[in-house]
Structure 1
Amino acid sequence: MKNGKNHKKITRRQFLDKSVKVSAGLAVASVTSSFIPIGSDRFLALAAEKKKGLAPGMIGGPTGFEGAEKYQYGPDESAGRAIEGLRKLKADGKAPKKLVLMVPPGEVGHWENPHPPGAKTLKEMFFQETGIEVELVDTIDTEMGKKLVQDYQTGTNSYDIYGTWQNELGDLARSGALFAYDEFVDKYKPDWTDSKTGYIGGAVTVNTMMKSGGHYYGFHVDGDYPCFYYYRKDLWEKPKERKDFKARYGWELQVPDTWDQLRDISEFFHRPDKGLLGCVGLRNQYWGFAFWYPRYLSMAYPNQYYFDNNGEPLIDSDAGIKATEEYADSMKFMHKDAITWGWAEQYPAMAKGECAMIETFQNWSKFMDNPDNPAVYGKVRTFGSPGRMIDGKYIRRTVWWPAIGKAIATGGKYPEASYLLLQWLTSGKVFTFVVANPAGYLDPCRLTDFTDPGVVKSYKPYNVKTYVDVIEHAAPPINVPGVLEFQNALDQNLIEAAIGKKTAAQAMKDTALKWKKTVQKVGKDKFIEAVQSQNPAWPTVIDQPKIKA
């Protein structure tokens, strides 16, 4: 499991890419750098000039393949400012020869596999433009948080940049291991909220995924969203199915507006005696609770928060109980072993045509909607989490979770150079170039990603609109200090509710009691400060229902 509870069980990442590891390829220094010292002014002056294939006015970016120009950047763009900043640090003797990055196995391919044909690797491109090498330390994703805290607390300080789970940002920042980089944001002006190249969701995404306690600590590099519903379009369009559905439920079979309507569809198509499951979600340990979030979050306007502004848990309430009842009830339309099903069971079950619908993450289409799976190839479509009517408003909420992230190591010697590498990596053009590379598992999340032909082809055109919609409605998971204890308490109690060991009311009561103890452990004043800084940053979008009652 990703949280390290049980490493023997296969993770989603392991299942999808079988722990993709590309053999390391060090960037080869150019002939010029053999005779001119890398740190010299002459080298830096020639860095952009000698790079063939750059469009007029561009100072960096990929070359060597048709269409490379769209990923290139000038000195007044976010990536360009980062490269210029690094060149200046290099000239002033304030930059390292090498930056050491902790990365999960599935990220290595983005750095070391050239894509498309003719392109240099990301490591080679960065070295060519800055004279700084990138060393990747391949680390099991479930162990990144533990290892980075150990690295800091023992004073080992082996890394310049850590790999993280973004949902753990509050705890990791509180540990002291992460460097708060607010000053560099002001100085170098990244494009994260740019209306054309920024993150989808803009300031909401940045504030909920990259900040803790009002300060910048994390870098968003992975669009993980557990709010996608893949459905069998071929089944939904059959005239007899449509006729029978309307006769039974009184409305036309279509993408549901509400959770109740989703239940109708799940119930209608659930025919286990005929080899067809209604709607298969994940309800197993560590992963299942992510699919509880959207049900709970949509219970109030603008959001059903986890804690009020006084740090008191809000889940031991009608909202928490109803969301938990719905969550447990959905088990009726899944496989009999759903409480233990993970990615290795869910993804191929849909690919074989054994499910009418699945509730899952964004990349089923990337890995499974292909000619190798003829039962469903070309027959699947998607929609994001449904919602509910609250005081006359139609509220839909999704959630991001858990999402690979990056952070600057407090114990690193070169925080400014580390920041600039990460601003370069997370700039619109560079990040789109990165996620278009199929050799790694980082997922898209920038506006530019979803107009890129390579990304669209990989995730499928039908899923792009859903992907954007899901991100625009995304609230954060629990990501305040104490997150792992909050998360584990919720996880355990939801499992017990799902298998009937506890009522929904008891599960929420028990969770809230554990949450209160964790708040006291964290420190009430610090916890309240974190909650009050985060809650105003949540989404406020309201939709219009499409189905007439």
Structure 2
Amino acid sequence: MRGSSTRRSLLKGSAAFMATAAVGINPKFLGAAHASELAPGMTGGPSGFPGAERFQYNETHSEGRAIEAMKKMVADGAAPKKITMLLADGAIGQITKPFPSGPSVKEVWEAETGVELDIVGAPAGDIWARVLQDVTTRSGTFDIYTHPWNSLGDLVEAGGAMNLDELVDKHRPDWADGERGTPTAQTAELLYKYGGSYYGASLDGDFQTWVYNKAYFEDPKNMADFQAEHGRDLAVPNTWVESDQVSAFFTGRTGLGGTKIYGNGNDMAPFWGLPRFYARFAAQAVPNMYWFDENGRPNLDTDEGIKAATEYVKTKDWSHPDVMSWTYAEGYNGIGSGQTAHLTTYTNVSKFVDRKNADGSPASPATGMLSAYMPPGVQHGDDLVRRSVIYYNITGTVSSRSQNPEAAYLFLQWLSSTRTYSWMAGNPAGYFDPFQKANFEEQFVSETYHPYMMDAIRETIARSAPTINFAGQTALDAALDEELQAALIGVKSPEDAMQSATKRWERVIRRKGEDKMIPIIQQSRAAWPTIVDKA
């Protein structure tokens, strides 16, 4: 028995050595040398920089459970040599670049498990097409897909995403942990489930958040002129009416370096402008104006829907002349250059625009001048319904054709758990954004995104409605987007556009099958926010 045990130990050690050598890892990282750099009681995580202990873990933590399960697969000879991940190229740096020093996220995973991570990058705008290509050709090139959260339903319907219920139950991720996970129970439903089952792991926080040029709002002349014009103080808006007043007021005034200000900084290009309409629409009723009624009929052509569309189209009057081609990138440049006064956009605008370069020079003319606020809403008597939306939001799924589904899942759990993700979100090398409670308490995240964003993002998440992510999303969003674009350029009235969009949505639902779609539409309401503020 003793000899047999020794032989098994040698074989196991040899297997571990070969696995780590294959990915170029020094095996001592897995042994006493690495353990000595960890905080007492911790078995894994980064080391080598001040504060590293905040991201370390043991087998009682979500990351530690994933690592221990992966190590067991390696020891049992059941682990793959590598896991292949399709990832939006703008986010790769947060996994591959060390932060703030020491090992990268990728290096920690490979060192602790011996399983190589092969990342294949693709532009954010092309990645969904790459996913569909892999699904339709059944090539099984990737173990893990990343793609917009909005596309999750279409991916599940196409048979491309693996149901994760059993693996979630087995390995217990901390995604919905009351102290460290998502801010609300609805957010957990929103980000990780489809049709009541787990399919995705959120790797982003694309809750559209309002940012403004605080220097413009606090300028004495602007304050005096606004008071004279509106009879109230110039302040961040609480309602869409006030937001539009602010946009109209700033348009044509002189800003940084003598630049002309356009009050509305929101992008309006196809695809990118759509969440601006959705946010305004969602606030039109208490507690929400849902995209569909309880019977699955679109609400677009209701009085509330037409009102939202009319107001949305009007905002073009206070926008840059090229706004119809503005994506988020032009929106970032607009607020950073001082051309625009406020906008709602992706939260990483603060880390890319409001920062200093390595030599200490400002990265943009507006560096040091920005701040953020809660989403505006619609007043209904004494109630104020403030709504934003989640839109795009990089999400990881395990390919249904992966030959290594449990290993792929374990990496996703490790990457998306609250310690690893907080470490990664603080890294300015990509656009994975904060969304977990733990992220908002993390010093590195606060330093990267700025303290003024922490409460604003957290409060925005609590008030964010889900844009469409169930089967048919691509067709539904495209139909609405095309009708809104027609209204924006004056080809159709907002009312005609909403009536046409309603008919097109109804056709999509019928084509997909009402018996299947209506229950999914009804079930999607569980992920909507319930919070209603007082006016």
TM over 0.5: yes
Q: Any residues of structure 2 matched to 1:304-343 within 5 Å, and which?
A: 304-343=289-328
Q: Size of the alignment, in residue pairs?
A: 509
Task: Assess if the C-alpha contact under 8 Å between 2:186 and 2:526 holds in 1.
Answer: no
Q: Report the equivalent of 1:185.
A: 168
Per the TM alignment, residue 352 of structure 1 is displaced from its structure 2 partner at its CA by: 2.4
Q: Report the equivalent of 2:58.
A: 74
Q: Distance in 2 between matches of 1:145 and 1:449?
A: 27
Task: Assess if the C-alpha contact under 8 Å between 2:20 and 2:110 holds in 1.
Answer: no
**2:268 paired with 1:283:** yes
Per the TM alignment, residue 57 of structure 1 is displaced from its structure 2 partner at its CA by: 1.0
Q: Summarize the Cα distance change of 1:520–1:49 in structure 2 as closer, same or farther, 3 Å threshold.
A: farther
Aligned counterpart in structure 2 of residue 99 of structure 1, from 83, 95, 109 = 83
Range that drifts further, 203-212 or 428-437: 203-212
Per the TM alignment, residue 44 of structure 1 is displaced from its structure 2 partner at its CA by: 10
State, as a whole percentage, how many aligned pairs show the same letter: 36
Q: Report the equivalent of 1:7.
A: none
Task: Assess if the C-alpha contact under 8 Å between 2:16 and 2:74 holds in 1.
Answer: no
Aligned counterpart in structure 2 of residue 270 of structure 1, from 236, 251, 254 = 251
Task: Assess if the C-alpha contact under 8 Å between 1:39 and 1:93 holds in 2.
Answer: no
Matching residue's letter, 1:281: N
Aligned counterpart in structure 1 of residue 393 of structure 2, from 383, 403, 413 = 403
Q: Distance in 2 between matches of 1:381 and 1:365?
A: 8
SS in structure 1 at match of 2:262: coil
Residues 248-289 of structure 1 show CA distances to partners (whole Å, capped at 9, x for unaligned) of: 212222121111111111111111687222222111111111
Aligned counterpart in structure 2 of residue 219 of structure 1, from 201, 204, 209 = 201
Matching residue's letter, 1:334: S
Q: Report the equivalent of 2:330.
A: 345
Residues 496-543 of structure 1 show CA distances to partners (whole Å, capped at 9, x for unaligned) of: 112222111111100010101111111111111211221122110111
Q: Report the equivalent of 1:22.
A: none
Q: Report the equivalent of 2:183.
A: 200
Q: Report the equivalent of 1:236.
A: 217
Q: Report the equivalent of 1:19.
A: none
Q: Summarize the Cα distance change of 1:381–1:141 in structure 2 as closer, same or farther, 3 Å threshold.
A: closer
Matching residue's letter, 2:290: Y
Gaps of 5+ in 1: 1-31
Q: Report the equivalent of 1:445.
A: 435
Kindly report structure 1 stretches of 4+ aligned residues shifted beyond 4 Å. Answer: 32-35, 43-46
**2:234 paired with 1:253:** yes
RMSD (Å), alpha carbons: 2.2
Matching residue's letter, 1:288: G
Q: Report the equivalent of 1:523.
A: 513
Q: Distance in 2 between matches of 1:128 and 1:296?
A: 48
Residues 442-462 of structure 1 show CA distances to partners (whole Å, capped at 9, x for unaligned) of: 111111212222211111111
Q: Distance in 2 between matches of 1:522 and 1:501?
A: 29
Per the TM alignment, residue 37 of structure 1 is displaced from its structure 2 partner at its CA by: 4.2
Task: Assess if the C-alpha contact under 8 Å between 2:202 and 2:394 holds in 1.
Answer: yes
SS in structure 1 at match of 2:177: coil
SS in structure 2 at match of 1:240: helix
Task: Assess if the C-alpha contact under 8 Å between 2:466 and 2:527 holds in 1.
Answer: no
Per the TM alignment, residue 220 of structure 1 is displaced from its structure 2 partner at its CA by: 0.4
Matching residue's letter, 1:452: E
SS in structure 2 at match of 1:231: strand
Q: Report the equivalent of 1:12.
A: none
Q: Summarize the Cα distance change of 1:283–1:155 in structure 2 as closer, same or farther, 3 Å threshold.
A: closer
Range that drifts further, 206-215 or 230-239: 230-239
Matching residue's letter, 1:309: E
Task: Assess if the C-alpha contact under 8 Å between 1:179 and 1:409 holds in 2.
Answer: yes
Q: Distance in 2 between matches of 1:147 and 1:356?
A: 37
**2:491 paired with 1:498:** no
Q: Report the equivalent of 1:62.
A: 46
